[in-house]
Amino acid sequence: MPRFRIGDTVFLDGQPAKVVWLSENANEIEPMDEYIVEFENKQRQFAISSKLTAQKPQAVYNREHDRGGCHDQTY
């Protein structure tokens, strides 16, 4: 069964897109679904299931800059 369906909103490289075509390849050694997605600007792109996500990727959070000074203090 395909991971996404036609009309689903997915994210490809962080950009939202809508699934407009899909092909299920269950007979492969490693099953993978193929999709064509359409972006808001009407451009279409081919993608495999491992490149698509259902949610917008989270921003990378840099914990190093958020460290409090109490970690370096001695008592």
pLDDT value at residue 51: 92
56-73 tens-digit pLDDT:
766 665 555 555 555 555
Chain Cα centroid distance, residue 34: 14
In which order are the strands placed within the sheet that holds 9-12? 44-48, 32-39, 15-25, 9-12, 52-53
CATH of domain 9-64: 2.30.30
Is pTM beyond 0.85? Reply is: no
Residue written as token pair 């099953």: 31
Q: What is the pLDDT of residue 3?
A: 82
- What tokens appear for 40 in the block? 């808001």
Rounded Cα distance between 48 and 27, Å, is 15
Read off the pLDDT of residues 34-61 as tens digits, 9 standing for 90 and up.
Answer: 999 999 999 999 999 889 998 876 666 5
Domain boundaries, the chain: 9-64
Measured distance CA(59)–CA(68) in Å, rounded: 21
